[in-house]
Amino acid sequence: MMRTVFVNPERCIGCLQCEVACAVEHSASHELAEAFHEVPLPRKRVHVEAGAVPDTSYPNKCRHCDPAPCQRVCPTGAIHRDTSGDLVLIDARRCIGCAMCAVVCPFDVLTFHPLAGTMTPESLVAVKCDGCEQRVGRGEVPACVESCKVDALIYGEINELVAAGRLRESGAVLAAAGLTPAAADGDPLAGWRSFGAARLSVNGAAQDTWVRHRRENGARAGQDQNAAATQAPSGSRREEGTS
């Protein structure tokens, strides 16, 4: 069962609490006040970015792709999967900062910073979400999820989260359209089903109207052809008389 951090971008309010919590979690002290004085500074793995609509935002993070393009192009094997196969991780000691992983990442989530424990203090290595594997190993949720107060980031089994999200958002959309009340219980898809039945009825009526018009137009065209055929001889006789 794969558990992951699921993003609800429509809920994000751009408070940046997830970024701060992520940086503190990956600091040496794990304390907010002390983390700002560490050398090198702790780096965030989640990035709140501008949304597609003005005044909106969303938390962008590694999706731990399978297969992972970054892992495939890493020349030193610094990028690898953990034993569970759910997380794509980076061994900072093997990263040479070539940035090939960033070139192929479809979500633009890799950044490069100096980290403690690398070859030299000036070495820039790839940094991205590690799934807070140590916190999860202790039975806790990832730091970004714990800090998010609006459920823009939630943690759980991916299929269950997707199914719950579909039901929730379908109910909200239908309620906004006035098709069904937004109730916490009951079937949130009842309005959607009634909408589908109404659409079928409308489509059926439109099809019947289209067929009727085609028949009427066909009959009218046939009448016009017959009228033209009956008028043609009389017209010919008039032309013969005048000649």
Query: What pLDDT, on a 0 to 100 scale, did the predictor assign at position 112?
Result: 94
Averaged over successive runs of 10 residues, the pLDDT of the chain (243 residues) comes to 83 95 95 92 94 89 94 96 89 92 95 76 87 93 95 86 66 57 57 64 66 72 68 51 44
Residue 53's pLDDT is 84
Closest of 132, 157, 136, 150 to residue 62, by C-alpha: 132
Structure tokens at 32: 């907010």
Contact between 43 and 26 (Cβ < 8 Å): yes
Residue 22 CB neighbours (<10 A): 25
Which pTM value belongs to this model?
Answer: 0.65
Question: Roughly how many angstroms between the first and final C-alpha of the chain, as a whole number?
Answer: 96
User: For tokens 């719950």, what's the residue?
Assistant: 164
Instruction: Quote the pLDDT of residue 197.
Output: 67
Strand-pair partners of 48: 59
pLDDT at 243: 42
Other Cβ atoms less than 10 A from the Cβ of 93: the count is: 13
Contact 23, 35 (CB under 8 A): yes
